[in-house]
Amino acid sequence: MRYRVLAFPWQIAFLLLTILVCFLATNQIFNLGFFVGHILMDARYLFLYVGLILVMTFILFPINSRTANKKMPWYDIMLMFITLGIFCYFAWVGADVVREGWDFAAPNHAIYLALIAWLIVLEAGRRAGGWPILVTTGIISLYPLFADRLPEVIAGASMDLFQSASFHLFSEESVFGVPTQVGALLVFGFLLFGVALQYTGAGKFFINLAFALLGHTRGGPAKVAIFSSGLMGSMSGGPVINVLTTGPLTIPAMVRVGYTRTYAAGVESCASTGGVLMPPIMGATAFIMANFLGVSYTAVIIAALVPSILYFYGLFMQIDAYAARHNMSGLPREELPKVWQVLKDGWYYVAVFVFLIWMLVYLQREATAPFYATIILLVVNQFTRNRLDAHGFIEYLKGIGRVLAELGGLLAAVGLIIGALQVTGMAGTLTNDLIYLADGYVLLLLVMGALTSFILGMGLTVTAAYIMLAIVLAPALINAGVDPIAAHMFIMYWGMLSFITPPVAIAAFVAASVAKCSPMQTAFQSMRLGIVIYFIPFFFVFNTGLLLQGSWPDIALAISLALIGIGLLSYGLQGYLIGVGHFGLGPLAWVASSLLVLGGLLLAAPSAMLNLNFSTHMGLVLALVATGIIIGKFGPQSRIQSRKA
């Protein structure tokens, strides 16, 4: 069991801490000046914020799953009081920390407290993110102690234990660096909004809307999974949560119309994973990316729009081809909700989304926009059948607390990675080493980066893996000539691919548990269904028109070629093409499908990536696709299949 079963007094304590953190964040973000007529300086605010969040982490997460049902142990109570005492003291002397430069010259007593706080942060990271987080952050946070004794390629400037503790806890580049600052000042409102959507019934609305729009089409329930999971994933930013929210409804519906359990689970895991890439929310990673790049959050979501659409488009086309190949129908219309009735009952969800996007894009109020959207949603919701009673509102607060405790504890620990790499100068060294190893070949550097991102993504969360690579790999890509936004998006995409790729494939395994089928078979099915996502990052690196950069004719051409190419790829993988039909079975059918897949990939790939001029590129694509269609339509296995039909 992941969360501790809390007794009533601890439930009250957890709720009070949640309310206090929300109050502090609101005061700081809106500059309300509730404290002696002035706002808290950021250093003091962050000390208080992290201290309270870590206490919440220790309340919510037991030391191990075996103690989840037991009463609160004495050592956790002691740990909470020590945490609260240390971080409140740091907040009290926050002005001295900044003014006197404690990150490099702290008093002795403060250094000892920083050492204890360092261990506390590591333990909070372990409880929130698991042992991989502890091992990774623990080893790297200790790196400054022995950086000068390592081989030259990974050597850096060294510090002793006390200096390292001071830097980790009192600088703005470690525990209180970019991850924590983004979480406490930018992401906070979106967390409130995402939880509000879950507890006001938005998930049910999106699923009903998807069934009303797509449930009757061929293979409709699978298309419903794409639509609803994409929207829910954009809100929650978590593939696993998304699978557990929408999967129990979409997977049985897919099985009912003829999909195998493995295929249904694969569709759900791919759709839920892709939701993380879909604007407008995209989870905490997008905000951290904007901070690293020094651009507005709007710039990130605009760049993310087309790649996410291409991913879901490829998934949709594969499902459509599979349904056509197996003569699958949709659900009976009489069993489905009516579109207008669904919109009548949940119009305000759409209105709130439009309002949020307007504030983000037009007013550029990234930090405050979700607060206003949350208030509007909660107020309007109280006049509907989904209104929250006292118990529902308490559950909503608990939901906020759980998200804050998990994300806050994780981000504080991940900050140690940034601090260690920055203070030793290792970030710049690794960047130069990667460029040297790639010898100027951008594609080779991208392949190296993709493999590194994937490996890190297997053990870390998307956010943790992204942060680490944003320090080391992104500068190398940018120095090699890659567009900065494209470089950071590339890292994010490859960092989250482990959710659907064996051997980890967490989203696929969770979907398999819902569908009651083989986890590993589901993982391989997910990998096949989501195959386009392995190539899209390479495409937008070599053609930033897919990130909506450049002239509109170039953007239109890039998107058009990508859509046609991904469509051919999707149909080739399923051995079916509109106007041609099922390619049949046997070696020739396999050849036809392979040619279609290869032609589709080459069409979607930018000419610069293939080092071809445009006319040669298109000629090669045309030859491959035409040959594949001719073999698929007129091959002997195809004719046998047609006669059987």
Confirm if 233 and 278 have CB atoms less than 8 A apart. yes
Q: What is the pLDDT of residue 122?
A: 96
Q: What is the pLDDT of residue 81?
A: 97
Which are the contacts of 644, defined by CB distance < 8 A and separation ≥ 6? none
For 187-197, write each residue's pLDDT tens digit.
Answer: 898 889 888 98
pLDDT along the chain (645 residues), means of 10: 88 96 93 62 88 96 88 95 96 90 92 97 91 89 90 82 95 90 87 87 84 88 84 68 80 88 92 82 79 88 92 91 85 88 90 88 84 94 90 94 90 89 78 71 85 73 78 85 93 85 82 89 91 92 93 94 94 84 78 92 91 91 92 62 46
Q: What is the pLDDT of residue 637?
A: 52
Distance CA 145, CA 575 (A): 57
For 432-472, write each residue's pLDDT tens digit.
Answer: 777 777 776 888 888 888 887 787 776 666 777 788 788 87
Which are the contacts of 279, defined by CB distance < 8 A and separation ≥ 6? 234, 301, 302, 304, 305, 308
Distance CA 91, CA 539 (A): 47
Helices (H) and strands (E) in the chain, counts: 32, 2
Q: Where are the domains of the chain?
A: 8-178, 551-645
Q: What is the pLDDT of residue 35?
A: 60
Q: What is the pLDDT of residue 236?
A: 58
* The token pair that represents 533 in the structure block: 């996502």
What are the Cα distances from residue 361, in Å, to 64, 89, 289, 373?
Answer: 43, 40, 17, 14
Q: What is the pLDDT of residue 634?
A: 72
Distance CA 211, CA 79 (A): 49
- Provide the sign of the torsion angle of the four alpha carbons 587, 592, 593, 597, taken in this order: positive
Q: What is the pLDDT of residue 640?
A: 45
Q: What is the pLDDT of residue 91?
A: 93
- Neighbouring C-beta atoms of residue 626, cutoff 10 Å: 12
Task: Give the 3-state secondary structure of residue 247.
Answer: helix
Q: What is the pLDDT of residue 353?
A: 86
Q: What is the pLDDT of residue 644?
A: 44
Judged on CB neighbours under 10 Å (0-12, 13-18, 19+), 240 is middle
Q: Which residue has the tokens 């920083």?
A: 114
